[in-house]
Amino acid sequence: MAKNDLIQCSRCGSTDSVDVRFGACVATSSWYRNNYPAPNTQVTTNDDIRLWRIPLCMKCIPSGYRLFLQNHRKKMATLLGWFSLFLVLGVVAIYFNLAADPRLFTPLRWILAAAVTFGLFAGVVGVPVCTVKLIIDLGRLKDLERSGVVPAKQIEKSFIGEGQRIIKALSPDRRDSPEKVWGEFPLPVHKKLDHPTRQERDIVAVGKTIDEMEKLLPSEWKSLWEMRKE
């Protein structure tokens, strides 16, 4: 791990044995699109993207990794809950549709049946995938608590976790006492919407260099990143 006495760890302020990753911090907004007379649909837009330089010292790298695993575990647990609900509703709906008189089927019921089938498929796939990922996260957390060592292949996750901590610490609507952050980290800006249902910020890619980080950007963010550089 490279030592750089000119850079402070963003978590503790230390200048001893500091490693750095470049991260892409993004902002997204979710809102309901009016499709009258059809039902409204929820749309998520990519609002803004900012380049962060995230430094962590050797002592704080395990803390960043722990936070990443905890956040990922919460996300998987939430998804598991939703996929389980889709699975149960899909099974119940299909049972009643199969038991119903086919002559009662209308075009609207066929559309609902297609939506139920999609939800059932999502549940069948999503439940085992999320369960496996939860088990992996729990195993990695136990290994980290036991050894205090972050595997070399997981080091980048430490910087994602630290980036997520910074986002929370700098959030304008944070109510409790803000955590200390060393360094400048401009938050990406949300689009101005009348009634957004959810607005979030997250770290979507990190790399040792900006070029490496660019290659790891999800495809849906590449165009906005290119626009940012113009």
Q: Which residues pair with 33 in a beta bridge?
A: 41
Residue 1, pLDDT score: 43
Helix axes 61-99, 155-170, angle to 10 degrees: 80
Q: What's the rounded Cα separation, in Å, for the pair 155 and 20?
A: 11
pLDDT in tens, 180-216: 999 999 999 998 876 777 889 999 999 999 999 999 9
Q: What's the rounded Cα separation, in Å, for the pair 19 and 76?
A: 29
Residue 4, pLDDT score: 46
- Taking alpha carbons only, the member of 3, 52, 4 closest to residue 24 is 52
* 134 in Cβ contact with 76 (< 8 Å): yes
Q: In what order do the strands lie in the sheet with 18-33?
A: 41-57, 18-33, 198-207
pLDDT in tens, 39-69: 667 788 899 999 999 999 999 999 999 999 9
Flag whether pLDDT at 113 surpasses 50.
yes
**Percent over 70 (pLDDT), the chain:** 79
Flag whether pLDDT at 226 surpasses 70.
yes
Q: Tokens representing 106? A: 């209308």
Residue 143, pLDDT score: 93
Least confident of 86-90, 123-127, 185-189: 86-90
Flag whether pLDDT at 3 surpasses 70.
no
